[in-house]
Chain A
Amino acid sequence: MGGVNVDPNFAREIIALGGKDLRKCMQCANCSVVCPLSPEDDPFPRKEMIWAGWGLKERLLKDPNVWLCYNCADCSAYCPRDAKPGQVMNAIRARVISEFAWPKFVGKVLNRSWGFPIFVIIVPAIVLLSLIYWANPGIFAGQLPSGTIETSKLISTTNVEIAGFILGGFALLIGLIGMWRYWLAITDGGGMEFTVKPLENAELEIKGKPGFMGLYFFEAFFFVLRDILYHNWFKICEANKPRFPAHLLIFYGFIGAAIATLGAILGLGHILEFRLPISLGYYPLPWPWELLYAKEIDPMFLIASGFKLIGILAGLAIILGSGVAIWNRLFNKKTKEFGSYYDWFFLLVVFFVGVTGYGVIIARALESTATYWIYLVHLYFVFMLLVYAPYSKFAHMLYRTVAMIYAWTRDRYPKTPKYFWEAW
């Protein structure tokens, strides 16, 4: 072969996924210089720009660098040609997700605006309608449950659980498959060892550290996890400062929501027909302020309302975080990035999951029957969040983690700041 293969379709896909200014790049490498995250050897995103411009698909699909980028947009802010390297990196990431998440076409269609009618209207509508029909056909006749407002009256907890397990399990499986395939790709098939091409014709050949399976992997995982929890990399961003609090809020919002969900299950005391060893005995979880009126405090009640409090705060964090992110995309002129359909799809789904979830809480507190309607809309967004997770931007949490672990084991990990407190 006389040279690298050029895949024009790949270049077109990156352009369509949001890299529309990609070709403006004149390879000056300003981006690589201003990037606060780029490692000194083999820096990005300069070379990713020309690879994308020329459709070097094989290179980009197994380039972990694209995940070391946090879209700080310093590159876009300082690009003299306005080529927006930040957006291009983002588009490449979208393309990577759709490449590795099985089946491929879902990711390809989902992340493009022409997938909107299928994935935002038709599919969720069918799934949701059949779920409702299965659980409570009466609602089609306009018969809302009467009495105290409880969402389980509309669709029973069991039905939601069954649907949740099937759909969530599917999403998890697809996500893991994608993650594994991506690991194989970036490590060239497992990556127990690797060799570094020596610089300047040195004869020395450096053997790499063992990759997957070794103890080293767990060390890497520990550091990666620490950085994720502390959001260390986000803090280095310059142009896109609001991204740090936004992502932090959404991130911990989701963790809080997961804890609250766990609390709800404990409150119920059983999953499907299986009785749990512990049961709080409160379902739905009681409002925290009910503690004020309680004559004597049951410890289970205290725990249950604690879970509820976490849930309330988590919902608030998600709304606030995604709200900041939306504001940032719309009004932060420094980043020069509005984002693509791929970004907005995920962001709006998160935002509306939060808003509708909170809507349910408020409507229920007001004892309004609107609760049921809001709940249905909430389910609609939760469905999209959950089922499309392995194909949408949500999947970044898997791929990014994999790439960071890989980078750490290859000493390609930007090590500053090492600790949380150093970043302040």
Chain B
Amino acid sequence: MEKNLGVYICTGCGIDKLDIEKIKGVVENEFKITPKVHQALCSRDGVELIKKDIEGGVNAVVICACSPRVKQDVFNFGKDVITVRVNLREDVVWSHDIDEHAQELAEDYVRMGIVQAQKTELPEPYIEETSKDILVVGGGVTGLTAALECAKAGYKVYLVEKENELGGWVKKFKSILPGKFPYREPVDAESYINEKVKEVTNNENITVYTSTRIKSISGQPGMFNVVVDREGNEETFKVGAIIVATGWKPYDATKLSHLGYGLDGVVTNIELERMLKDGKLEFNGRKVKDVAFILCAGQRDENHIPYCSTVCCLTSLRQALNIRELNKDSNVYVFYKDLRTVGIYEDFYKYAQQDEGIYLTKAEIKSIKQNGDKIRVEVTNTLLGEDIAVDVDMVVLVTGMLSSMYGLYTVKEEYPDEGEPPYSHIKPAVPKEIAFENRDKEWILNLQYRQGPELPTLKYAFPDSHYICFPYESRRTGIYPAGCVRAPMTVRDCELDARGAALKAIQTVELVAKGATIFPRTGDIDYPQFFLQRCTQCKRCTEECPFGALDEDEKGTPQPNPLRCRRCGICFGACPEKIISFKQYSVDMISSMIKAMSVPSDEGKLRILVFACENDAYPAIDMAAKNGLKFSPLVRIIPVRCLGSVNVVFIADAMSKGVDGVLMLGCKFGEDYQCHFIRGSELANRRMENVKETLNRLFIEPERVKIEQVEISDWERIPEIINGFVEEIKKIGPNPYKGF
């Protein structure tokens, strides 16, 4: 595309404090473009000025005004115009005292912006024939709700269930928690779930596959090829997105012999539920009158389940009420660690508490022993301040919920063939041997992805992607876990979760049909292009892609799946051959921007480059500026999509250009990571080793390059971080390559 650049300088919001004539001079002299100056570019008049030029043939505009994060709608000139924003307001005038240094800073930003525009191309979307159908895996309450929600929104749904009937666990329950005010009496489970099942089977948008397993899933969002095995018959269909609602499984109670499992009369709450469903409270023909519930049996316990399953307290209260309903003379003792009845279910707790036959106390179990016909439960550390002993007919061990993905072989990163998992946020739920043993025996999705057959998990085998920061996301684009597979939750929460996942799935099928990506760069149509002729099959990109977007052929050449891609640029950050680039974001572009900076040999004018992640760090800098915080004018900030997209080449270019230091501001990584692309900041940190090696080879102090973790709430610390680094560089002294 023949580019016709227009440069516009705004003098509003205090930018006129700079020497605008000098900036104009830089543009005119160095780029042979006559910039236009306006006192408020964002005004109707200012926009008209630009639009008129566009009509006159300008197809790339460089707007030297405010932060690219603001007024995006005002400076939107359509998809045929390249728009580059130079941040003179936040990054220069608001965050610096105007002097010679600030003036030079502004000039550099304008140079970099013009170069960026020169190196940017117009993106073209990846358009393929996609399917908007949605696959729901699992026919429990979450799966049924998700299927219904998608179907009601007009999407065709395939619902796959491995059992021979729909309904999942709830079908096996006697009752469930109430779903509406006043949140008291338990609700009959059968009628609740039957209604849902009926609604699903009557909906013509939903195709139900019972007694069916998924054989394999290949492809990418919008074009997943699903092969199912329906009692030996194979069927194939194409879907656009997948909701995984495979639910949970109970913890193996045989590991709880220390709590008396195995004794006559000690059961799990699942076994109790079966008795309640049958309406007969008997154990080996003996009538059960008094019952003790042991909550957190093998839960919140490092040797068993380390987490809280959140619903067991409520379920126990519900079962206690059911027992009391069956036998008005019965006494139910509930021994808990902490009674956790989340949210509005406090009302349910209060209701159960009022029952005259239900006894609640916090307690630690001392012993559970056979005592004649009965079982003697002895507890200590109770609310009464003393030990209690009760003789009961039945002890119920309330074991926790495991994700249905527990024990499965998920992805290579979690269970590498050799060594430990390479990322600090990965905590394999089961030992490697168990995962390997299950590898080809048990699966849910069997994705034909290079990185592994299932959804990657975060902790304790829950396939999540940091729910607080990125709700409903998984690390496989277009595949959304919902319900108890993702986290233990009540039936009512499963319904909510299913709705959230349904919306996500719908969003995906709609966006990928237009070739656009989903969260967090929602709507971005630009996608990475691979210049494969120069690929050396090093496999870094295929391994490091957080979303498993790249498959491989036999030789190890990457096979891109653009619709799986979330456009983070981690692949091009990884590529040593620099063969991966976006139209709007490429190695060449950033390198050229670095080269466009002026690097004076004057010792007082050090030059420091900051790569700031556009998700948290760059907004934090904007916020600091907006709040009037000032920092050193020696730094030049380049926003990047993710620190993972910072190629080592950038640093080498900067150093050889004579830049004195490089600071990288990225998201928090590790166990409680906040990186929007999961591991970008951690990868950047790891690549630092290579960087340091390179620097040593160039006889440059490795301290000149540094990574800092910044959260958006850290904006107050921005001057401290930046100035601190500038001081460190000042101590080291100027880059010896300056002036070469």
Please give the residue numbers on chain A whose beta carbons come within 8 Å of chain B beta carbons, in ascending order: 1-6, 8, 11-12, 15, 21, 23-24, 27, 47, 50-51, 53-54, 56, 81
Q: When the two chains form their complex, are residues B378 and A4 in contact, meaning their CB atoms are under 8 A apart? A: no
Report the Cα distance A50→B379, complex, angstroms: 16
> For A2, what are the chain B residues with a Cβ–Cβ distance below 8 Å?
366-367, 376, 378, 387, 389
Q: When the two chains form their complex, are residues B384 and A51 in contact, meaning their CB atoms are under 8 A apart? A: yes
Taking the nearest CB of chain A, how far is it from the CB of B335, in angstroms? 12
Q: When the two chains form their complex, are residues A8 and B353 in contact, meaning their CB atoms are under 8 A apart? A: no
Give the residue name and chain of the B residue nearest to A6 (CB): B390
Report the Cα distance A24→B353, complex, angstroms: 7
> For B389, what are the chain A residues with a Cβ–Cβ distance below 8 Å?
1-6
Chain B, range 18-41, C-beta contacts under 8 Å to A? none
Give the residue name and chain of the B residue nearest to A51 (CB): B384
- Please list the 9 inter-chain residue pairs (A to B) with the smallest Cβ-Cβ separation, ordered nearest first: A3-B387, A2-B378, A3-B389, A2-B389, A8-B331, A3-B388, A15-B356, A23-B353, A23-B354
Q: When the two chains form their complex, are residues B350 and A3 in contact, meaning their CB atoms are under 8 A apart? A: no
Is B386's CB within 8 Å of the partner chain A?
A: yes
Report the Cα distance A54→B333, complex, angstroms: 10
Give the residue name and chain of the A residue nearest to B379 (CB): A3
Q: Which of A4, A11, A12, A21 contacts B388, CB < 8 Å?
A: A4
Q: When the two chains form their complex, are residues B356 and A12 in contact, meaning their CB atoms are under 8 A apart? A: yes
Given A53-B359, A54-B361, the answer on whether A3 and B354 have CB atoms closer than 8 Å is no
Give the residue name and chain of the A residue nearest to B361 (CB): A54
> For A23, what are the chain B residues with a Cβ–Cβ distance below 8 Å?
353-356, 358, 360
Report the Cα distance A31→B578, complex, angstroms: 74
> For B354, what are the chain A residues with a Cβ–Cβ distance below 8 Å?
21, 23-24
Report the Cα distance A110→B376, complex, angstroms: 36
Report the Cα distance A423→B376, complex, angstroms: 53
Chain B, range 360-413, C-beta contacts under 8 Å to A? 360-361, 366-367, 376, 378-380, 383-390
Taking the nearest CB of chain B, how far is it from the CB of A267, in angstroms? 54
Give the residue name and chain of the A residue nearest to B362 (CB): A27
Taking the nearest CB of chain A, how far is it from the CB of B682, in angstroms? 45
Q: When the two chains form their complex, are residues B380 and A3 in contact, meaning their CB atoms are under 8 A apart? A: yes
Is B357's CB within 8 Å of the partner chain A?
A: yes
> For B388, what are the chain A residues with a Cβ–Cβ distance below 8 Å?
3-4, 6, 54
Taking the nearest CB of chain B, how far is it from the CB of A319, in angstroms? 38
Taking the nearest CB of chain A, how far is it from the CB of B368, in angstroms? 11
Report the Cα distance A354→B290, complex, angstroms: 49
Q: When the two chains form their complex, are residues A24 and B350 in contact, meaning their CB atoms are under 8 A apart? A: yes
> For A3, what are the chain B residues with a Cβ–Cβ distance below 8 Å?
366, 378-380, 386-389
Q: When the two chains form their complex, are residues A4 and B366 in contact, meaning their CB atoms are under 8 A apart? A: no
Q: When the two chains form their complex, are residues A27 and B383 in contact, meaning their CB atoms are under 8 A apart? A: yes
Report the Cα distance A3→B383, complex, angstroms: 13
Q: When the two chains form their complex, are residues A50 and B383 in contact, meaning their CB atoms are under 8 A apart? A: yes
> For B390, what are the chain A residues with a Cβ–Cβ distance below 8 Å?
6
27 A-B pairs within 8 Å (CB atoms) are namely A1-B389, A2-B366, A2-B367, A3-B366, A3-B380, A3-B386, A3-B389, A4-B386, A5-B389, A6-B333, A6-B388, A6-B389, A8-B290, A8-B331, A8-B357, A12-B356, A12-B357, A21-B354, A23-B354, A23-B356, A23-B358, A23-B360, A47-B385, A54-B359, A54-B361, A56-B384, A81-B350
Give the residue name and chain of the B residue nearest to A5 (CB): B389
Q: When the two chains form their complex, are residues A4 and B361 in contact, meaning their CB atoms are under 8 A apart? A: no
Chain B, range 134-168, C-beta contacts under 8 Å to A? none
Beyond known contacts A4-B384, A6-B388: 16 more, CB 8 A cutoff: A2-B389, A3-B366, A3-B380, A4-B387, A6-B359, A6-B389, A23-B353, A23-B356, A23-B358, A23-B360, A27-B383, A47-B385, A50-B383, A50-B384, A54-B359, A81-B350
Please give the residue numbers on chain B whose beta carbons come within 8 Å of chain A beta carbons, in ascending order: 290, 331, 333, 350, 353-361, 366-367, 376, 378-380, 383-390
Taking the nearest CB of chain A, how far is it from the CB of B345, in angstroms? 16
> For B384, what are the chain A residues with a Cβ–Cβ distance below 8 Å?
4, 50-51, 54, 56
Give the residue name and chain of the A residue nearest to B380 (CB): A3
User: What is the number of contacts between chain A and chain B, taking CB atoms within 8 Å?
Assistant: 57
Report the Cα distance A21→B383, complex, angstroms: 18
Report the Cα distance A55→B331, complex, angstroms: 12
Taking the nearest CB of chain A, how far is it from the CB of B416, in angstroms? 50
Report the Cα distance A54→B331, complex, angstroms: 11
Taking the nearest CB of chain B, how far is it from the CB of A47, in angstroms? 8
Report the Cα distance A21→B350, complex, angstroms: 11
Give the residue name and chain of the B residue nearest to A12 (CB): B356
Report the Cα distance A306→B331, complex, angstroms: 61
Report the Cα distance A2→B385, complex, angstroms: 14
Report the Cα distance A98→B549, complex, angstroms: 78
> For B358, what are the chain A residues with a Cβ–Cβ distance below 8 Å?
23
> For A11, what are the chain B residues with a Cβ–Cβ distance below 8 Å?
356, 359
Report the Cα distance A387→B572, complex, angstroms: 98
Taking the nearest CB of chain A, how far is it from the CB of B334, in angstroms? 12
Report the Cα distance A342→B367, complex, angstroms: 41
Report the Cα distance A51→B383, complex, angstroms: 10
> For B379, what are the chain A residues with a Cβ–Cβ distance below 8 Å?
3
The listed residue with most B CB atoms (<10 A of its CB), out of A21, A53, A81, is: A53
Taking the nearest CB of chain A, how far is it from the CB of B630, in angstroms? 51
> For A47, what are the chain B residues with a Cβ–Cβ distance below 8 Å?
385
> For A4, what are the chain B residues with a Cβ–Cβ distance below 8 Å?
384, 386-389
Taking the nearest CB of chain A, how far is it from the CB of B565, in angstroms? 53
Report the Cα distance A4→B356, complex, angstroms: 19
Taking the nearest CB of chain A, how far is it from the CB of B331, in angstroms? 4
Report the Cα distance A8→B357, complex, angstroms: 7
Give the residue name and chain of the A residue nearest to B350 (CB): A24
> For B383, what are the chain A residues with a Cβ–Cβ distance below 8 Å?
27, 50
Report the Cα distance A3→B331, complex, angstroms: 18
> For A24, what are the chain B residues with a Cβ–Cβ distance below 8 Å?
350, 353-354
> For B350, what are the chain A residues with a Cβ–Cβ distance below 8 Å?
24, 81
Give the residue name and chain of the A residue nearest to B384 (CB): A50
Report the Cα distance A23→B332, complex, angstroms: 13
> For A5, what are the chain B residues with a Cβ–Cβ distance below 8 Å?
389
Report the Cα distance A56→B354, complex, angstroms: 18
Report the Cα distance A47→B355, complex, angstroms: 20
Report the Cα distance A21→B384, complex, angstroms: 18
Report the Cα distance A50→B360, complex, angstroms: 10
Report the Cα distance A56→B389, complex, angstroms: 12
Report the Cα distance A8→B359, complex, angstroms: 9
Report the Cα distance A416→B76, complex, angstroms: 81
Report the Cα distance A358→B228, complex, angstroms: 93
> For B385, what are the chain A residues with a Cβ–Cβ distance below 8 Å?
47
Taking the nearest CB of chain A, how far is it from the CB of B371, in angstroms? 10
Report the Cα distance A1→B379, complex, angstroms: 11
Give the residue name and chain of the A residue nearest to B331 (CB): A8
Report the Cα distance A23→B383, complex, angstroms: 13
Report the Cα distance A246→B389, complex, angstroms: 45
Give the residue name and chain of the A residue nearest to B378 (CB): A2
> For A50, what are the chain B residues with a Cβ–Cβ distance below 8 Å?
383-384
Report the Cα distance A11→B353, complex, angstroms: 13
Taking the nearest CB of chain A, how far is it from the CB of B341, in angstroms? 12
Report the Cα distance A1→B350, complex, angstroms: 32
Report the Cα distance A51→B388, complex, angstroms: 12
> For B378, what are the chain A residues with a Cβ–Cβ distance below 8 Å?
2-3
Taking the nearest CB of chain A, how far is it from the CB of B381, in angstroms? 11
Report the Cα distance A349→B548, complex, angstroms: 84
Taking the nearest CB of chain A, how far is it from the CB of B333, in angstroms? 8
Taking the nearest CB of chain A, how far is it from the CB of B311, in angstroms? 21
> For B366, what are the chain A residues with a Cβ–Cβ distance below 8 Å?
2-3
> For A8, what are the chain B residues with a Cβ–Cβ distance below 8 Å?
290, 331, 357, 359
Give the residue name and chain of the B residue nearest to A55 (CB): B359
Taking the nearest CB of chain B, how far is it from the CB of A200, in angstroms? 15
Report the Cα distance A15→B331, complex, angstroms: 14
Report the Cα distance A351→B602, complex, angstroms: 105
Report the Cα distance A23→B359, complex, angstroms: 8
The listed residue with most B CB atoms (<10 A of its CB), out of A3, A11, A54, is: A3
Report the Cα distance A261→B360, complex, angstroms: 54
> For B361, what are the chain A residues with a Cβ–Cβ distance below 8 Å?
54
Report the Cα distance A6→B367, complex, angstroms: 17
Report the Cα distance A12→B379, complex, angstroms: 22
Give the residue name and chain of the B residue nearest to A15 (CB): B356
